[in-house]
Amino acid sequence: MHTRRKLTAGFSAAVSALALISMAASAEAKDLKIGFSQVTLQSPFYVQLKNGAEAAAKASGDTLVFLDANGDVTKQNNDIQDLITQGVNAMIINPVNPDAVGPSLDAAAAAGIPVITVDRPVNGGKVVAHVGRDNKAMGKLVGEAVVAKLKEAGVKGAKIIEIQGDAGGAVMMDRRDGFHDAIKGSDAKIVEGPYAEYIRANAVTAMQDLLQANPDVKVVYAHNDDMALGALQVLKENNRNDVFVAGVDGLSEALGAMGPNGQYIATALNDPQYLGDVTIQVAREAAAKKPVPKFVDAGSALVNPDTVSKYPHTGLFAEYRPTVLDK
């Protein structure tokens, strides 16, 4: 009898836990607890993404439980389990590794928690939506701007140095492939530089070597503005004002470097605060069991010296906030 009482008590506890999970899953989209497992906060972009999500959650009266994986996939998997235990109504993931979080995301789905990825998608795992931007299209926009600038300047057979993001990263590959697609139809040639991990200091070091090895360079394209600005610093230090520079992300400092006679000729907008805002909106819809698109594109646009005045850029990143969700 004692054993049976223990079993009955255990069964009752399990049923209660499942009931609580079910209640969390079916909650109306108000006073929600939304979990957010972020890849890292070692990048200004990801700090701004967090800020945007926090502001949107606060504005809608929800609680955001934010956990920083600090680039550690083991910690991220533990963080996801922690969020499941806390009974969040929806979970946002920016993965450290797209292949390493699948089982944890399946566990969240089994607990009735809808999972939304942001910025970087995952391979595997049950995800209801991905919120991000079309990085291939962004790379192509910048590539087209580079081709147009070279044509305008009358430069033939230009050598383009490409400073890359992170080896094997989905964003890196898309920004590379989109740019290459735009360059294909021209007579320009691309020299693929090293992976500088989206970090300005790494790009500075890389550019010092690249400039020595490629004194005939005409354009530097980097997979983000931070690296492009690092390359620009090296070019200025070497009095190479004849080399055009382009990046991606819409960093306000990059827009500030544009001008009628500036070397910085193009970037594609990637407003991280708005990305965080849109992700919270999608999470709230998913928590209410409403249908959400599998991919929500938060939108981008090309900025060049002719259009720079159109976009507010007093913050860290330029603002670009189109309507991307049906109201």
**Residue 181 main-chain phi, psi, to 5 deg:** -60, -40
Residue 259 sits in the same domain as residue 147: yes
Examine residue 308 and state whether it is found in any structural domain, yes or no.
no
Asked whether residue 91 is assigned to any structural domain, the reply reads: yes
Number of domains in the chain: 2
User: Do residues 62 and 75 share a domain?
Assistant: yes
Token digits of residue 30 = 């108000």
Judge whether 324 lies within some domain: no
* Residue 244 is assigned to a structural domain of this protein: yes
Instruction: Tell me if 28 is assigned to some domain.
Output: yes
Q: Is there a single domain that holds both residue 17 and residue 107?
A: yes
Instruction: Give yes or no: residues 86 and 208 share one domain.
Output: no
Q: Are residues 204 and 218 in the same domain?
A: yes
Phi-psi sector, 87: left (phi>0), alpha (psi -120 to 50), beta = left
Quick one: 96 and 146 in the same domain?
no
Rounded to a whole number of angstroms, the CA Rg of the chain reads 23
45-99 pLDDT per residue, tens: 999 999 999 999 999 999 999 999 999 999 999 999 999 999 999 999 999 988 9
Judged against a pLDDT cut of 90, whether residue 185 lies above it is answered with no
User: pTM, whole model, 2 decimals?
Assistant: 0.84
Residues 111 and 148 in one domain: no
Measured CA to CA, the distance from residue 186 to residue 174 in angstroms comes to: 20
Higher-confidence position of 14 and 118: 118
**Statement: residue 124 has pLDDT above 90:** no
Does 309 fall in a domain? Answer: no
Task: Output the CA angle 209-136-163, nearest 5 degrees.
Answer: 5
- State which residues form the domain around 167: 135-268
The answer on 262 and 146 residing in a single domain is yes
Judge whether 148 lies within some domain. Answer: yes
Mean per-residue pLDDT over the chain, rounded: 90
In sign, the C-alpha dihedral spanning 38, 119, 42, 50 is: negative
How many CB atoms are located within 10 Å of the residue 124 CB? 13
Residue 2 has pLDDT above 80, yes or no: no
Asked if pLDDT for residue 14 goes beyond 70, the answer is no
Q: Are residues 153 and 176 in the same domain?
A: yes
pLDDT in tens, 154-176: 999 999 999 999 998 889 999 99
Question: Is residue 54 one of the residues assigned to a domain?
Answer: yes
Q: What H or E segment, with its residue span, contains residue 219?
A: strand 217-222
58 contacts: CB under 8 Å, gap ≥ 6: 64
For 218-246, how does the pLDDT look when each residue is reduced to its tens digit (9 = 90+)? 999 999 999 999 999 999 999 999 999 99
Cα–Cα distance for residue pair 303/248, rounded to 1 Å: 10
Q: For the domain that residue 233 is a member of, what is the CATH number?
A: 3.40.50.2300
How much is the pLDDT for 262?
83
Q: Do residues 252 and 279 share a domain?
A: no
Q: What share of the chain is helix, strand, coil (3-state, %, to 5)?
A: 45, 20, 35
Looking at the structure, tell me whether residues 195 and 254 fall in a common domain: yes
% of the chain residues with pLDDT over 70 = 91
